[in-house]
Structure 1
């Protein structure tokens, strides 16, 4: 009786849409007419068409790079706030970290477009300093721009869970490690990092899972070489009137993300043992 309202809510808002997408993936569509005959043609096309394979592989690579870059850059900041900032000032630091949430995600993407553009802030600054002779062209409208923009946008999502995990570490364990003759570096890798892994795992999944479904950033700053599978899903649904193929690509993307996430969690559990 207590959980039934929540269960119904979850079924209606999560399970039902996923079931609808899965069902659509086995249908076909001719402009506005949907043929509800069950078929695997969409999946065959998705696996055989090189465009879909390229976009899927590129999406996984970009998502992985963004995740690694974001976590690697976020960990030192979270470590600094947790271990070196005075407890009375930690709330201020967390407040500053969350400032990017105050602005629209779309606005932040546009700002990076201005910064990385051919005549943008970065190129103009480097030209004025005499560090380059002509504007750098590889900063915008490619996978590099997607990685830079997405890493900035998801930085707070990685800093906060890592910070929480570091705050839960019993400082006496670190003191015991030092008393037993371990150096600071070995203490970090043998005590601090393993105890902080739940936060690292949470940050990794928080970034990796939504990045592969992001279509705004690749569309605005990615260019032809930075488009991802989500852009093709949007095109199939909204421009090509082929909802079954869009649903098929969405199902395959979800399966790929789920498999990679489960593998990562499995190896992390073995590491923690």
Structure 2
């Protein structure tokens, strides 16, 4: 019997080993390289050199880092709030209103934005919101405005709009999956006990859907922090985020140790915020239960 278990264990390890090694090479190796760079005095790993914490001291003492990091967290939080707020009704509609036979078609339509490059979608928003773009041209042709509106582009609002559109499918799908797992008999029981639809949603549907909401929030929040294309194109470079600061250190100034220290510091801050958010969600569910 033990021999059979050992054989199954070996077979399991054989199946797991290739994807595990691939994950280590693709994810862990670059991350460890960035961490190693952050402790160096120069940007070379070929020769073992003296390690230092000076890069991290410089990062935390830099007021520009504080300002850009707070801006990045604020923009990412706003994008997450807008995206999840818009994604939840769509996911609810798909789960509770759409005919089950047509759900696959609707999910297919949601994935259509992925058919084009993210960079192309950002450029399209620049065309839509530009000084001579679609919105301004349409308003002028309708006689609503005489001069193009200059505040549509190169600001935080345009960045939030672009990022919310880009990450909307990532928010819709996990919320939809969570809603699909809800036992419909629980909702019927709530209404049979005299609860209104709004109270049934607040007391039953929302708590049971919170795992999907949390997953959607993290899926949107984390990559938004690391986005540098949208601030550069839609923000016009006037509203840099932490990813733009890292890019500048890595490429423009060729200061890989400082850029790595910025990246590791930002990653730790985002990880801490994500853990706090998940802990607050667990507490929310316990209170609701």
TM superposition score normalised by structure 1: 0.94
Q: Residue 160 of structure 1 is aligned with which of 145, 165, 173? A: 173
Query: Is the counterpart of residue 177 in structure 1 residue 190 in structure 2?
Result: yes
- For residues 34 and 48 of structure 1, do their structure 2 counterparts lie closer, same or farther at Cα, with a shift above 3 Å needed? farther
- For residues 179 and 50 of structure 1, do their structure 2 counterparts lie closer, same or farther at Cα, with a shift above 3 Å needed? same
Q: What is the aligned partner in structure 2 of residue 73 from structure 1?
A: 86
Residue 13 of structure 1 and its aligned partner are, at CA, apart by 2.5
> Tell me, what secondary structure is at the counterpart of 2:212?
helix
Task: Deviation per CA, 1:159-198: give whole Å up to 9, x if none.
Answer: 1111111111111000000011111110001000001111
- For residues 55 and 178 of structure 1, do their structure 2 counterparts lie closer, same or farther at Cα, with a shift above 3 Å needed? same
Residue 52 of structure 1 and its aligned partner are, at CA, apart by 1.6
Q: Residue 129 of structure 1 is aligned with which of 136, 142, 159? A: 142
Aligned equivalents of 1:151, 1:175: Cα separation in 2: 34
Q: Residue 98 of structure 1 is aligned with which of 86, 96, 111? A: 111
TM superposition score normalised by structure 2: 0.89
Residue 130 of structure 1 and its aligned partner are, at CA, apart by 2.7
Query: Is the counterpart of residue 206 in structure 1 residue 224 in structure 2?
Result: no
Asked if the contact 2:84–2:217 (Cα under 8 Å) also holds between the matched residues in 1, the reply is: yes
Residue 104 of structure 1 and its aligned partner are, at CA, apart by 0.9
Asked if the contact 2:37–2:43 (Cα under 8 Å) also holds between the matched residues in 1, the reply is: no
> Tell me, what secondary structure is at the counterpart of 2:163?
helix
Q: What is the aligned partner in structure 1 of residue 278 from structure 2?
A: 265
Unmatched runs of 5 consecutive residues or more in structure 2 = 1-9
Residue 31 of structure 1 and its aligned partner are, at CA, apart by 10
Q: Where does 1:192-231 land on structure 2 (aligned, <5 Å)?
A: 192-231=205-244
How many residues in Structure 1 have an aligned counterpart in Structure 2?
273
Residue 35 of structure 1 and its aligned partner are, at CA, apart by 8.8
Asked if the contact 1:27–1:34 (Cα under 8 Å) also holds between the matched residues in 2, the reply is: no
Aligned equivalents of 1:69, 1:197: Cα separation in 2: 16
More divergent stretch after superposition (31-40 vs 163-172): 31-40
Q: What is the aligned partner in structure 1 of residue 73 from structure 2?
A: 60
- For residues 31 and 183 of structure 1, do their structure 2 counterparts lie closer, same or farther at Cα, with a shift above 3 Å needed? same
Aligned equivalents of 1:34, 1:115: Cα separation in 2: 50
Q: Residue 248 of structure 1 is aligned with which of 261, 276, 280? A: 261
- For residues 35 and 29 of structure 1, do their structure 2 counterparts lie closer, same or farther at Cα, with a shift above 3 Å needed? farther
Q: What is the aligned partner in structure 2 of residue 42 from structure 1?
A: 55
Aligned equivalents of 1:7, 1:214: Cα separation in 2: 27
Unmatched runs of 5 consecutive residues or more in structure 1 = none
The structure that has the greater radius of gyration is 2
